[in-house]
Amino acid sequence: MKSTNRTPVIAANWKMHKTIEEAVCFVKGLIPLILNVPVKVYVAPPYTALHSSAVAARNSPVVIGGQNMNDENEGAFTGEISANMLKDAGAEFVILGHSERRHLFNETNDFIRRKVKKALSKKLQPLLCIGETKQEREEEKTEQILKQQLEESLGDISPEEMETIILAYEPVWAIGTGSPALPKEVQVIHHFCRQLVRQKWGADTAEKVIIQYGGSVHPQDVKELMELPDVDGVLVGGASLTLDLFNQIIHYSR
């Protein structure tokens, strides 16, 4: 049984799913199910449903956030969204550096670093994703890649800022495959990441920072993952689209 003062965060990333009506219905159905859970519950709906979801979640334990944002306050960036816009819509956190943004949209660590700084300056909590590809894993470069992502995405972050950031280890090779990383592999990587935080930002910060696991998370896997010493929550994709499945993940300790 692990002992930690870190409150776990279970987050839903809906990606390009759900209309406004569907999102609001989900949030309203979720609220009564999580009134007394010992975890924090985050939900990242699509931009079109962000404001309506935030209104539906008002005065409840559900925390609403964005799936991505630009590093500029405003400008000629067709299709982009700013931190100010997210805040105005009711977002309290924002997912940054997701592998789909890195690999499908060619986002660099430096771009992600600027977005993290912008989010912090606007009082949006960054949820920073890191993870290696299948090829990088097969070439035994996992630790090298994660170290580079952390150092370059968080290069000028203070210890106080680092304590507010959520890290999410999402092995790219596991996302959407239905096959999550093995718990023993997850613990090794999470411990490695916490040691990196310790080396750069100190022991106190390392003990406070939340590190989630993401990548084909399903109800049957969560309890074993959450019992690992360095796992402080999960970032859920497909299984978060169904209220019953997401509720089972939130109530993993039953």
Q: What is the pLDDT of residues 72-93, one digit of tens each?
A: 999 999 999 999 999 999 999 9
pLDDT for 3 equals 61
Q: How far apart are CA 141 and CA 137, in angstroms?
A: 6
Residue 225 · residue 183 · CB < 8 Å: yes
159 token code pair? 């210890």
Q: Which helix (H) or strand (E) holds 150?
A: helix 142-153
pLDDT for 254 equals 67
pLDDT for 170 equals 94
| Domains of the chain (ranges, CATH numbers) | 9-250 (3.20.20.70)
pLDDT for 1 equals 47
All residue ranges of the chain with pLDDT < 50 are 1
pLDDT for 181 equals 87
Look at residue 189 and give its three-state secondary structure. helix
Q: Which helix (H) or strand (E) holds 235?
A: strand 233-236
Q: How far apart are CA 28 and CA 30, in angstroms?
A: 5
Residue 127 · residue 235 · CB < 8 Å: yes
Q: Which value, in Å, is the radius of gyration of the alpha carbons in the chain?
A: 17
List, by residue number, the catalytic residues: 98, 170
pLDDT for 2 equals 60
What count of residues does the chain have? 254
